[in-house]
Amino acid sequence: MNVLRTGRCMLLALALVVVGAFGAPSAEKDGGTVRWCVPEQLQANCSRLTSAAGVGIECVSGLDRTECLRMVRNRQADYVMADPEDLYVAMNMENQDFVVFAEQRTTEEPTAPFRYEGIMLVRAADGFSSLADLRGKKSCHTGFGRNVGYKIPVARLQRAGLLKLPVADGALSTVERELSALSELFSASCLPGTYSPHADIDALLKHRYANLCERCDAPAQCGKQDKYAGYEGAIRCLVENGGDVAFTKTIFVRKYFGLPVTPGGTAQPARNPAARPEDYAYLCEDGTTRPIADGTAPCSWAQRPWPVLLTNGDYSGTRFQRLQAVTSQLDQYYTDSQSTAPEADRAAAVALGIKATNPLVNRTELAAPRDYLQKANYVEVIEREGPYGSAVRLCVTSEPERQKCELLRRVAYSRDIRPAFQCVLKTEEACIAAVRSGQEVDVVVLKKHSAQLKPIVTEVFADHPAKTNGAKNGEGRAYVYVRPDMDEAAQDSIVHAFVALSETFGAGKPNALVFRLFGPFRVEKQADPVSNLMFHDNAAKLTSLNKNSLEDN
């Protein structure tokens, strides 16, 4: 019996509902169909595959996954697949009663309560007795902006009072405040990655806080492909490159040192046979250490929850059992080795999140999104500088724009785009006046020239940067405007935030399935979507005009 099959057998034993037959099971006799909401790009594939599986699931579509959350809340759909960041958005929606009812786990760790656990790995001989001993040490991180290597350490070290961010007086952006604090805490680090999607700002930050790249294999680049980037790379930085502490996750510690991945499991060959596990230990938040070699449970200071299936509060009793049954049937039809599903359909199901390596496990205890995230300390990880922290005050000129802005700010914040956004509704004329005065708002997006304000970001179209490519009524490109005398640091912070929005939710980006920055937007209680809100629907990305740095390629 292979590993995949063994893992799946363990998962089926955990599931609340056991489905006995594969092939094309029929569930209609147990009641009506349940509605699975997927982004509209996936609906045709979803409908074909659910029909082929013969399960009682109807695929309905939202413009993106965030609209699917609204549809589940509004009873226009029954469930949606969601990442932990989506749960953060969901828990902050008005009038929500979402419930987590299943998790997508892995065959490698089928019984683990979390997707992964963030840990600190140190040398046992270094004699750590408190977190304060980290000061002045050489640190190894998976990468900038990543969970176990950046977000969790920043959140938890702040909480412990060890990482002290500069005062939020506007002189430094939220990102730079965190980098400054890390640079002050550690003598040298390898924190690889892209500090800003804007190349000039990225280079400036890496020059200003050069010690954060000092321990990387290629400190001049300090890029995400560095030899010491990633989960295993951070361990190698500690073991092979003179680091003092590695921020990584437990499963890679076990693999690197050749320890069993799961308790009682079979150990695989070590990634580095020369490294002795008895020489290393987990550093706990209380300052104690735990050996990694004797099977002792690691001390994890925060975790990343599993991706989940999310429904609403209408599901209970037999309705809830049916929901778990049909979603389990669909998952098993396309992932179990005994199923009759064609290989081509199994491959197509991957685009819907149905994978043999990530089988579905039904929860016996339901959880609201906030409770589910807090069990993993994940709300604190997202809100590490306080809920929404310092914000860019974005002026919007219509109620549809306000609604889009409100969703945008929540989705962006959940996915670590800083500074956060705050939405302020005014008329266009009032927005221009307010931005110019700087008293109530910081920025406005306009599709026309404003002599009173300074443009710092604009939209780019795929065919040519200067064309609107079919914008309605001959409107010009959208520009992000600030007041002319805004200081350079504040401008850089706003540029960073808008370019990060584009790099995360722009055209062709994977997270455009989560939220579409460019494209139609559906206003609450309105059937037809609204086009060209804030930016043009067919824009490709946002680019900086600051310092004459155009990124039109």
Asked whether 369 and 98 are in contact (CB, 8 A), the reply is yes
CA end-to-end span of the chain:
51
pLDDT value for 31: 59
C-alpha pair distances (Å), 82 with each of 36, 311, 417, 464: 12, 10, 19, 35
Using H for helix, E for strand and C for coil, what is the string for 297-335? CCCCCEEECCCEEEECCCCCHHHHHHHHHHHHHHHHHHH
pLDDT value for 472: 42
pLDDT in tens, 388-427: 557 999 999 999 999 999 999 999 999 999 999 999 999 9
- Is it the case that residue 173 has pLDDT exceeding 80? yes
pLDDT in tens, 245-262: 999 999 999 999 999 988
pLDDT value for 476: 85
Assign domain 34-108+305-380 one CATH number from 3.40.50.280, 1.10.10.10, 3.40.190.10, 3.40.640.10.
Answer: 3.40.190.10
Q: How far apart are CA 86 and CA 65, in angstroms?
A: 8
pLDDT in tens, 368-388: 999 999 999 999 999 987 655
**What is the rounded average pLDDT of the residues 322-340?**
96
Phi, psi of 126 (to 5 degrees): -80, -10
- Annotated binding-site residue numbers for hydrogencarbonate: 142, 146, 149
pLDDT value for 546: 55
pLDDT value for 389: 57
**In 3D, which of 351, 404, 306 has the Cα closest to residue 87?**
306
- Is it the case that residue 4 has pLDDT exceeding 70? no
Residue boundaries of the structural domains of the chain: 34-108+305-380, 116-304, 388-544
Residues of the chain with pLDDT > 70, as a percent, come to: 90
pLDDT value for 168: 78
- Annotated binding-site residue numbers for Fe(3+): 83, 116, 231
pLDDT in tens, 460-488: 998 654 455 444 433 589 999 999 999 98
Asked whether 304 and 149 are in contact (CB, 8 A), the reply is no
CA angle 27, 347, 86 (to 5 degrees): 75
Architecture of domain 116-304: 3-Layer(aba) Sandwich (3.40)
Architecture of domain 388-544: 3-Layer(aba) Sandwich (3.40)
Q: CATH topology of 34-108+305-380 equal to that of 116-304?
A: yes
Q: How far apart are CA 68 and CA 82, in angstroms?
A: 10
CA angle 203, 204, 206 (to 5 degrees): 65
Phi, psi of 536 (to 5 degrees): -75, 145
pLDDT value for 317: 85
pLDDT value for 501: 97
Confidence at 13, pLDDT banded by 50, 70, 90: very low
pLDDT value for 267: 87
pLDDT value for 402: 98
- Is it the case that residue 6 has pLDDT exceeding 80? no
- Is it the case that residue 8 has pLDDT exceeding 70? no
- Annotated binding-site residue numbers: 83, 116, 142, 146, 149, 231
| Burial letters 423-446, b for 16+ CB under 10 A, else e | bbbbeeebbbbbbbeeeebbbbbb
pLDDT value for 162: 97
